[in-house]
Chain A
């Protein structure tokens, strides 16, 4: 069973609307939790990095939150733009050897 589960698998939203992506993990503690954005045909780009003790981290219209008690993280996209259409991947880094555990990703499609 994957240690990082993302939901939904895909979603479609209208331009200008907000959306929230979920990441549930079973491992604890961890070194950090990251959210990546990956455009089709390109490598992932880091959006946010949070340590175990952080609750929220923002990067422009992207805000990630972390609840260590429920082992959940979410990525909120505000006022979506067409360029937000991409796959969003949640990654948890486990100590001590920095083993990486990846979620399967959520594909977001923004329509005009």
Chain B
């Protein structure tokens, strides 16, 4: 069964707006990684947050992690049309190297 579940399933915004995607998972984790996928091709690694971290930034990306609620969020600020893609959270199951993906959030950014 899917472990990382993203919400919403789809999101449409205008360029310049912020986009927030949420992720929930079910088990203990080592870390949680966020990926972007364009047009069903390979996954691009965006950011990793360890289980003992609460917030992390990378450029226009901000990720939070709440292990007590088993949830994470990805914020993309000042979005661009090029950010249009599917975004996946992938919690790494505790004591394994398995990334468990949900069905992703499809983000559409209109110019």
Do A and B share a complex? no
